[in-house]
Structure 1
Amino acid sequence: MNEASGAGRTPPDTGAPLRVLVADDFEPVRTLAVRMLEKLGNHVVGEAADGQEAVEALEREPHDLLLLDLSMPRMSGHDVVRWVNARPEIRDRLTIVVISASALDERPALAELGVTRVLPKPFRLQQIADVVDGLPGR
């Protein structure tokens, strides 16, 4: 779980922009992640302030990467992961990376749910770059 392998995921087209959804209820974290992704290159980045917004965004359009907080209102990150897992058409092309200040102890359980990696908060630009570089087709 230390690598963003995306094993089992359908690789995105290498020339296409990476489609990322950042789901975190703390606005400064979302803003920081969006800015980091914009610095890294050609990415289409969406934001969700809670788990329910994340699910709605994932239903509306396909994404390649979900940066997901676990502790959010209306629907937790755990519930979002379970929702994704119940939808193979979404799960098979989506890499899920948890961003959390407290989830490091949960890594084995999260890996069983299909989470590729856990980034501790606060995260650094290089950590986000490593996740993006580790995606299939990148």
Structure 2
Amino acid sequence: MYELKTKETDSSVIEFIERMDHPGKREDGYKLLDIFTDTTGYEAKMWGTSIIGFGKYHYKYESGHEGDAPLVGFSPRKAKISLYFAAGDTQRDKLLKAFGKHTTGKACVYINKVADVDVEVLKALIEQSVTFLKKTYPNQ
């Protein structure tokens, strides 16, 4: 059976941010920590070794695969900062048009630094993702 690698841990979010080598990434890590915490109302938790997640939901696919994941999150990686929002949310694409400098993957949005994006749109993306996931996966 498939074992999820990215699980909620008891590791310290602050210690993780403090271990970042680049001062700019560390500063952005704290900015994002504040934005995500204030916007979601959830306490930040480490998921795996490098994702800072907020809230959580339980998903189950038709294939039978199921697990837990954060509602939203971010990871200040060396190359780019990964932002985790709900995949499959059509509102995400609309909001991203006004977001600023970014690239996208299947489930991630990548930015170089917080200064490259509109923070109000970031807050809207966070709120929309949480709303979408709570509606899609009720009974949390």
TM-score when normalising by structure 1: 0.39
Greater Cα radius of gyration, structure 1 or 2: 2
TM-score when normalising by structure 2: 0.39
